[in-house]
Amino acid sequence: MEKYIYDNSNGLWYELHGDYYIPCLVLPDTEERPLGIWGRRHLDFIKEQRPMLYADLVLSCKLHNYLADIDAQANAELALLIKQMAEKEGVTEQLKEQNQMAWVRTMGSIRNRTEEIVNVEIIFA
């Protein structure tokens, strides 16, 4: 029996192991991009709420890139919203110098609100 055979019907190579032919499967090379909190939150969400999407992404080897894109999109949205809300509410470096506690309180409030917006619009959508 031959060591390797090719099946024209499915386009796969098979390797002989003992008495059985096992498909020669190799995962595609992907660049390793780090996942942040937003990507991990979205992963938990799709595992629980959208199992078909999760299974499709895993089987097509696109899960990590998909989550990294969601993470980057969420971080960009968060930064933009924080900047816009801080400008709208008049939070400046001058306020930071004059009254640090008021600045921390206001920026904390802005950060919490923007995180909720990102959760609703990107992570749990």
Helices 37-49 and 51-59 cross at an angle (nearest 10°) of 110
Contacts of residue 95, defined as CB under 8 A and 6 or more positions apart, other chains included, come to 102, 103, 106
Provide the residue-wise pLDDT of the chain in tens; the chain has 125 residues: 789 999 999 889 999 999 999 999 887 676 788 999 999 999 999 999 999 999 999 998 899 999 999 999 999 999 999 999 999 999 999 999 999 999 999 999 999 999 999 999 999 98
